[in-house]
Amino acid sequence: MKKTIAVLPGDGIGPEVTDAAVQVLQSIAMRYGHTFHLKHALIGGSAVDAHNNPLPDETIAACEASDAILLGAVGGSKWDQNPGHLRPEKGLLNIRKHFDLFANIRPLKAIPALLGSSPLKEEVAKEVDMVIVRELTSGLYFGEPKRRTEKAGVDTLVYTRDEIERIVDQAFEIARGRRGKVTSVDKANVLETSKLWREVVEERKAFYPDVEVEHMLVDSAAMKLITDPRAFDVMVTENMFGDILSDEASVITGSLGMLPSASVRSDGFGLYEPVHGSAPDIAGQNKANPSAAILSAAMMLRYSFGMHTEAAAIEEAVMSVLEDGYCTGDLSDAGKQVVSTERFVTKVVEELERE
């Protein structure tokens, strides 16, 4: 297959980790006879520096001419005092909205070798295996009115039935390919949008008789993610709750530096990026953990290109390198040999060539 990939390295460690992912993609291309054409473009703080715009038109054009987007990370204190429209994260919000990437998908699986880095007791965190599906283009993030006066501020939480249906369907589909359980998280005892949300989940479940559904209030979900995370298979929720709960979930297994994410729409087009941030403090030091970016590239192969074998090969290669006892500095607790970003990638590529 021939595919075009827009590569948006972004800020901080973004360039290092996307470089790593690109090396892995090239190795896959060679081995499986694909051609990946790469279009590099700017986003976030580096785009603000170059073009005074966190999502320049050229970047949008590059993405529009591509089959999928691979992103590093955006942000850094350098741009923290900028006005809203010149802040790095505005690039992220805009690209999600522009491409209608309504479904943010974050798989989370405990890696036995890394449980030592988890803040949770090993018996609580072990065997966690869940996916969080977060609505990404509506709710409090985008609802109008959204404004400030001298004396008050207002944001608006709006959801339409259609917006809820498509994200809920996405969660049901994912659950079908897994353990068949969906936990829908809302605040239906307080919010009107949550009452609608719950109603839509109840309606849609008729179309997925093979999937078990439970409703959970967001405050209970925040507790249960810590006390009993294994209870979850697929969690689906609205944008703001998803922001909070997915970040909470990202630290429970101690492997934040390993977590990939996908932000997709229904036709298979999507943006793939690590869950971790731009970590400006270690940028350019050849120290960053490239695993999350590499595993994001694997998600891209699977979801956007239908390359299941290739995706699985990447995932196995990363796990093998960890099992062989190599890791980057963020996982040094795990009692392994700490290696540089580049050396870790080389190991992954060697593993791919051996398989």
Ligand X SMILES: CC(C)[C@H](C(=O)O)[C@@H](O)C(=O)O
Q: What is the Cα–Cα distance from 188 to 235, expressed in whole angstroms?
A: 16
- Is 189 annotated as contributing to ligand binding? no
Residue 338 found at the interface with a second copy (CB under 8 A):
no
Q: How many CB atoms lie within 10 A of CB 313?
A: 21
Q: What is the Cα–Cα distance from 226 to 232, expressed in whole angstroms?
A: 11
Q: Which does 289 bind (CB under 5 to 8 A by kind): a second copy, ligand X, none?
A: none
Q: Does the active-site annotation cover 159?
A: no
- The string of DSSP codes covering 76-117 is -GGGTTS-GGGSHHHHHHHHHHHTT--EEEEEEE--GGGGGG
Q: Which does 194 bind (CB under 5 to 8 A by kind): a second copy, ligand X, none?
A: a second copy
Residue 312 found at the interface with a second copy (CB under 8 A):
no
Residue 155 found at the interface with ligand X (CB under 6 A):
no
Footprint (CB under 8 A) of a second copy, residues 145-164:
146-148, 150-161
Residue 196 found at the interface with a second copy (CB under 8 A):
yes
Q: Which does 120 bind (CB under 5 to 8 A by kind): ligand X, a second copy, none?
A: a second copy
Residue 39 backbone dihedrals phi, psi, to 5 degrees: -120, 105
Q: Among residues 219, 228, 324, 333, which one is catalytic?
A: 219
Residue 276 found at the interface with a second copy (CB under 8 A):
no
DSSP state of 43: -
Nearest-approach distance from CB 92 to ligand X, in angstroms: 5
The vertex-303 CA angle with 4 and 33, nearest 5°, equals: 50
Residue 58 found at the interface with a second copy (CB under 8 A):
no
Q: How many residues does the chain have?
A: 355
Residue 143 found at the interface with a second copy (CB under 8 A):
yes
Residue 219 found at the interface with ligand X (CB under 6 A):
yes
Residue 203 found at the interface with ligand X (CB under 6 A):
no
DSSP state of 206: G
- Is 277 annotated as contributing to ligand binding? yes
Q: Which of 190, 268, 281, 306 binds ligand X (CB under 6 A)?
A: 190
Residue 248 found at the interface with ligand X (CB under 6 A):
no
304 alpha-carbon distance from chain centroid: 14
Burial of 1 (0-12, 13-18, 19+ CB in 10 A): middle
Residue 99 backbone dihedrals phi, psi, to 5 degrees: -95, 10
Nearest-approach distance from CB 221 to a second copy, in angstroms: 8
Q: What is the Cα–Cα distance from 237 to 167, expressed in whole angstroms?
A: 8
- Residue number with CB closer to ligand X (132 or 334): 132
- Is 243 annotated as contributing to ligand binding? yes
Query: How many CA atoms does the CB half-sphere of 237 hold within 13 Å?
Result: 26
Q: What is the Cα–Cα distance from 8 to 40, expressed in whole angstroms?
A: 6
Residue 218 found at the interface with ligand X (CB under 6 A):
no
Q: Which residue ranges make up the site for a second copy (CB under 8 A)?
A: 87, 89, 93, 118-121, 124, 140-141, 143, 146-148, 150-161, 187, 189-197, 218-220, 222-223, 225-228, 240-241, 243-245, 247-248, 250-252
Q: What is the set of active-site residues?
A: 141, 187, 219, 243, 247
Q: Which residue ranges make up the site for ligand X (CB under 6 A)?
A: 89, 92-93, 189-190, 219, 243
